[in-house]
Amino acid sequence: MGNGLDKRIERFMNWMKREQIELALITTPTNVYYLTGFYTNPHERFMGLFLTVTGDVFLIVPELDKNQAIEKSGLSSVLGYSDSEGPDFIIEKMVQVNRNTRMGIEQGNINYKTVLWLQRLLQVENFLDLESGFNELRLIKDETEIKFLQEAAHFADRAVEIGIQSLKIGKSELEIIAEIEYQLKKQGIERMSFDTMVLTGKKSALPHGKPGKDKIQEGDFVLFDLGVVFNGYCSDISRTVVMGTPSEEQRKIYTIVKQAQQMAINAVKPNISIKQIDLSARNYISKAGYGEYFIHRTGHGLGLDVHEYPSIHEKNEGILKEGMVFTIEPGIYVPQVGGVRIEDDVIVTRNGVRVLTSFTKELIQIGM
């Protein structure tokens, strides 16, 4: 395998040992990728990585993924099954369990039908949850991961730049999105981290707004929120610009968000409690009189998933550690006026913080 992947499996097995889990079945594509380097989404077909606490590792995949799985994972034990036979026979042959075996699955990512099938096949009655093991492992990013996250962040910067360059009075939100994704695809990007968001005017005040045919007008805030996937790793950036000259209130709101976001970034360093980052931004916005309009947490972890641990909210008593990667994205949303959100991706370093996204945060006035 190489690339430190053996080590990831070893660390996961150590976690299993601590939790007294004898057998783990991993079916979530990102977790299989995390441990093996092989990614596929087999949709309705079964794919499973089996690990035993005694050190056995084998991967079961649909026959048509087998060659790729061997090549990418370097695992010595990859087993393929055809559509006509299904995976049942292989699993029964490979897996030795009884009804009391302490077996773990990813409870939040496996459907009930699959669980019922496993119960019939293996006679195991209860399944433990592997989620906290993966949360723990994936929380701290290693060098390879940071390289990919940095690259994803570069493309996010580029995406915002494309979007801003294509802004024009009368164009629709969907047209701007089309332009961004077109240019990125041409540069070889296959996938965005989530549905690209461009919201204009009053809609910028809706954190869950849906882009549509709404046309950009003079005086609008235009809010971008988007991300790019690079080698499986996600970026996530938000920037807000104004069409023409900002009103006094627009300028005021923008300046508060920008300052709040910077204060949260400045707070980042190892060994503080996570809530302090949220509170740095939140207290500043509250003191400026806009507390009621900052209606979400300050950020979320980032990695193979665009939302993962840690969650940057005001009640998270957890401790910040070197190698954690997350977003910092305070916002102010004034109904009927508009919203501003500024978001960067950051990594906790030994002594402080490194910001992965780098697109300017000065207030850009389009057409001025």
Binding site for a second copy (CB under 8 A): 64, 105, 107-113, 115-116, 127, 129, 174-175, 177-179, 181-186, 188, 190, 208, 211-213
**Which amino acid is residue 57, in one-letter code?**
V
For a second copy, the closer of residues 44 and 143 by Cβ is 44
What's the min distance (Å) between Cβ of 268 and a second copy? Answer: 25
For a second copy, the closer of residues 196 and 250 by Cβ is 196
| CA distance linking residue 61 with residue 42, whole number of Å | 8
For a second copy, the closer of residues 129 and 322 by Cβ is 129
For a second copy, the closer of residues 8 and 278 by Cβ is 278
| CA distance linking residue 7 with residue 13, whole number of Å | 10
What's the min distance (Å) between Cβ of 357 and a second copy? Answer: 23
Residue keyed to tokens 């990614």: 39
What's the min distance (Å) between Cβ of 45 and a second copy? Answer: 11
Residue keyed to tokens 């209130």: 249
| CA distance linking residue 335 with residue 333, whole number of Å | 6
Q: Residue 360 has which token pair?
A: 């300017």
Phi, psi of 344 (to 5 degrees): -125, 160
For a second copy, the closer of residues 284 and 333 by Cβ is 333
Residue keyed to tokens 């299993």: 16
For a second copy, the closer of residues 109 and 276 by Cβ is 109
| Helices 143-165, 173-186: inter-axial angle, 10-degree rounding | 130
For a second copy, the closer of residues 166 and 349 by Cβ is 166
Cα dihedral 28, 30, 31, 32 sign? positive
For a second copy, the closer of residues 139 and 364 by Cβ is 139
**Which amino acid is residue 368, in one-letter code?**
M
In 124-251, DSSP assigns E strands to 127-129, 197-200, 221-226, 229-230, 233-234, 237-243
What's the min distance (Å) between Cβ of 152 and a second copy? Answer: 17
What's the min distance (Å) between Cβ of 110 and a second copy? Answer: 5
| CA distance linking residue 34 with residue 38, whole number of Å | 8
What's the min distance (Å) between Cβ of 213 and a second copy? Answer: 6
What's the min distance (Å) between Cβ of 367 and a second copy? Answer: 21
Residue 68's nearest CA partner among 90, 36, 25 is 36
CA 251 to chain centre: 31
Residue 303's nearest CA partner among 162, 99, 138, 169 is 138
Please answer whether residues 34 and 73 qualify as being in contact, where contact means their C-beta atoms are separated by less than 8 angstroms. no
CA 336 to chain centre: 30
For a second copy, the closer of residues 183 and 283 by Cβ is 183
What's the min distance (Å) between Cβ of 299 and a second copy? Answer: 16
| CA distance linking residue 216 with residue 58, whole number of Å | 54
What's the min distance (Å) between Cβ of 194 and a second copy? Answer: 10
